[in-house]
Amino acid sequence: MSGDASEGRSSRQSGRAELVQRITVLLGEIEALGQRTDDVPGPLLIEMQAILEKARRVLEACARRPKRAADGEGVPQPDIDQEILERMYRALGTNSSPKR
């Protein structure tokens, strides 16, 4: 295996950026279709514009959001009381305590 974790993370970030870009293009196409039609009622066009604007805000927030760490890096872990954990292992009848 020649790739490392940063390559995988980079490809996921790139994939997300490409997906956001594709969705943005599709939103533009939907908006253009709505503007070219004369037989769509006004209230429906207004609702469509509101939906498109909301979708654009979500996409902008997604593009600005910091990238999540891959493979659990930076993910907070629960605090574990080592004494309780050791008692649990003793109660289970094992002689080995957990690795720290």
**pLDDT for res 65:** 73
pLDDT band at residue 1, thresholds of 50, 70 and 90?
very low
* Cβ–Cβ < 8 Å for 24, 53: no
pLDDT band at residue 12, thresholds of 50, 70 and 90?
low
Question: Which residue carries 């999540």 as its tokens?
Answer: 68
Q: What is the pTM of this model?
A: 0.48
Pick 4 or 43 by higher pLDDT: 43
**Mean pLDDT of the chain, nearest integer:** 75
Query: Position 55: which residue type?
Result: A
Q: What is the pLDDT of residues 54-87, one digit of tens each?
A: 988 888 888 777 665 544 556 677 778 888 888 8
Question: Which residue carries 């954990």 as its tokens?
Answer: 85
